[in-house]
């Protein structure tokens, strides 16, 4: 019978099972048999769905279930709303979901749900098919308030780069939030964000270069044919040093992968693009990846060495 009560996402709420005539013993047997997984008090998910889900998908399943338990007095917020908007998950603690009470009540943690309270205006919330969630600008600052500086800047960069909000909107909203708990460092986060990075890796690269006092590069630098036609764009460039830099990550490859194109075809096309840019400029191309960000001293030394040699 339980299989008919599970929704399209694989979620089953205890209250729905009880209303259908089942009891807690039936749910316990379903968990023991491997049919269901209990993800929090009153919330279950099909084991087959849960085991195939990654950390982000599991967080969203938990959020989906929790949002069904609550009414319109709360909104999904902070990093939970960030994931619902499609934002980056690097550096986020996905172990609990976040809700903000729209009537200024709450602030507690219970059964993998963190309840927040705070001043919420009409422009701070929006709706999706499941109810209220905080709007992009509010979500960006709420999420960054819980994070270390680097992932906080990455979140803000993503929201600005996607056009969901702007730095002007964020600074304006921050003026209202500056006395709230956990927001003292947001001024620094906003000062470091530029909204030009197209991935977390690009944001981290820019912050690494800044921290090591490398001369500021031009982000999203366009290289053109003699005719003026665009030949390509690189993540960072130092024209005065004749050096360009690309961050290689899976997000970038999948973003630029063409319909029906294999990974091998995409890599070959990217290699041809790099050759074309080098031929047009005569510059050095440096490529770095996530592993290079884990060893910033060596990576920065490599970039500075390339600058010296190119000069």
**What CATH class is the domain 200-310?**
alpha beta
Q: What is the mean pLDDT of the segment spanning 34-45?
A: 95
Rounded Cα distance, 205 and 60, in Å: 29
Q: What is the mean pLDDT of the segment spanning 24-48?
A: 95
Distances (CA, A) of 131 to 123, 168, 267: 15, 27, 42
Nearest to 197 by CA among 186, 205, 188: 205
**Cβ atoms 211, 205 nearer than 8 A:** no
pLDDT over 60 at 250, yes or no: no
Per the prediction, the chain carries an average pLDDT of 91
Q: At what angle do helices 136-145 and 167-177 cross, to 10 degrees?
A: 60
pLDDT over 80 at 269, yes or no: no
Rounded Cα distance, 60 and 210, in Å: 34
| Ranges for all domains in the chain classified under CATH 3.40.960.10 | 200-310
User: Do strands 284-288 and 243-247 pair parallel, antiparallel, or not at all (unpaired)?
Assistant: parallel
Three-class HEC string of 68-96: HHCCCCEEECHHHHHHHCCCCCCCCCCCC
pLDDT band at 68 (very low <50, low <70, confident <90, very high): very high
Rounded Cα distance, 44 and 227, in Å: 61
Q: Compute, in degrees rounded to 10, the torsion defined by CA atoms 261, 267, 270, 276.
A: -120
Query: Would you put residue 172 in left (φ > 0), alpha (ψ -120 to 50) or beta?
Result: alpha
What is the model's pLDDT at position 254? 55
pLDDT over 80 at 102, yes or no: yes
Gyration radius of the chain over CA positions: 23
pLDDT over 80 at 104, yes or no: no
Rounded Cα distance, 152 and 156, in Å: 6
The pTM score is 0.89
- 3-class state of residue 303 by DSSP: helix
Nearest to 241 by CA among 201, 292, 211, 285: 285
What is the model's pLDDT at position 71? 85
End-to-end alpha-carbon separation of the chain, Å?
A: 73
pLDDT band at 292 (very low <50, low <70, confident <90, very high): very high
């Amino acid at each position: 019978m339980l299989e008919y009560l599970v929704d399209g996402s694989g979620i089953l709420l205890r209250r729905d099972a009880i209303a259908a005539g089942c009891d807690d013993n039936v749910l316990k047997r379903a968990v023991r048999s491997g049919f269901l997984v209990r993800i929090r008090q009153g919330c279950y998910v099909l084991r087959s769905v849960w085991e195939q889900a990654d950390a982000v998908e599991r967080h969203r399943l938990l959020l989906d279930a929790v949002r069904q338990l609550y009414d319109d007095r709360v909104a999904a917020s902070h990093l939970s709303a960030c994931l619902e908007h499609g934002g980056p998950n690097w550096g986020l603690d996905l172990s609990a979901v976040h809700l903000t009470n729209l009537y200024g009540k709450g602030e507690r943690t219970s059964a993998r749900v963190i309840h927040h309270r705070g001043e919420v205006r009409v422009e701070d919330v929006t709706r999706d098919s499941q109810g209220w969630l905080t709007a992009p600008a509010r979500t960006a600052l709420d999420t960054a308030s819980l994070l270390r500086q680097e992932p906080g800047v990455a979140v803000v960069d993503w929201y600005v780069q996607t056009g969901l909000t702007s730095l002007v909107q964020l600074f304006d909203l921050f003026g209202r939030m500056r006395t709230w708990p956990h927001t003292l460092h947001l001024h620094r986060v906003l000062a470091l964000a530029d909204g030009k990075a197209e991935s977390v890796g690009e944001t981290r690269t820019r912050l690494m270069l800044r921290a090591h006092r490398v001369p500021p590069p031009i982000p999203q630098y366009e290289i053109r044919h003699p005719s003026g036609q665009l030949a390509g764009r690189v993540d960072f460039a130092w024209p005065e040093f004749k050096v360009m830099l690309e961050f290689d990550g899976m997000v970038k490859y999948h973003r630029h992968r063409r319909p029906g194109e294999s990974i091998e075809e995409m890599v070959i096309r990217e290699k041809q693009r790099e050759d074309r840019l080098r031929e047009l400029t005569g510059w050095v191309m440096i490529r770095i990846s996530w592993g290079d960000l884990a060893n910033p001293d060596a990576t920065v030394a490599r970039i500075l060495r390339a600058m010296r040699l190119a000069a």
